[in-house]
Amino acid sequence: MASRLHQKIAFKDGKPQCEKMCVVLSSPVGRIEISGCGTGVHEIQLQGNVLPSSGTMESLVSCEVCEAPEEMTAPLKQCVAWLQAYFCEPWMIEKLTMPPFHHPLLEQASFTREVLWTLLRDVKFGEAVSYKQLADLAGNSKAARAVGGAMRSNPVPIIIPCHRVICSSGQTGNYTGGSHLKEWLLSHERLQKEKLAY
């Protein structure tokens, strides 16, 4: 078990090796596996098994660490705290430090990187934007299809909220974790935003 939670890896471009660690959370949307190193979060993988609720989303929501190395890096601790706040105390996420990311897609200049950072910066909790609107925000109004590709390649879903990007028709559209998961995340945010408005 320890070897899966803690291992050395190298990026393909020959950069120095990272000491990769993994943390697994049990959340309302199933297992979430976070991998990262001392520099930042590499990936968040969603298993897509939305847990059944007892009628409403108001039921007790928890997000607990179920597997982790003995000592977590600061970026992993920040990521865990951010995800726990997202599910359990969403009003706190604006006050928390965003974990740093350490993934080539988010470090190298590209349209995909621009789209993902624009989404993170401009589309807030409880909001939604169409693929075309996000293309406009990222500076290329004709790139709605490329925005879809950027959403599919997002290495850190939920934190970079690709679930908030929907079709112009209002339909939720595709999602790496499945449309049921995307609908759950959008409903969770809508419900929490309504609660905060009162």
Choose, from 22, 88, 162, 167, the residue flagged as catalytic.
Answer: 162
At 101, the amino acid letter reads: F
How far is the C-alpha of 19 from the C-alpha of 9, rounded, in Å?
6
Whether 88 sits among the annotated catalytic residues: the reply is: no
Spatial contact of 119 and 160, defined as CB atoms under 8 Å apart: yes
Q: Is the distance from CB of 58 to CB of 40 less than 8 angstroms? A: no
Torsion, Cα of 66, 89, 124, 174 (10° steps): 40
Q: Which two tokens stand for residue 60?
A: 């007790």
Task: Cite the active site residues.
Answer: 162
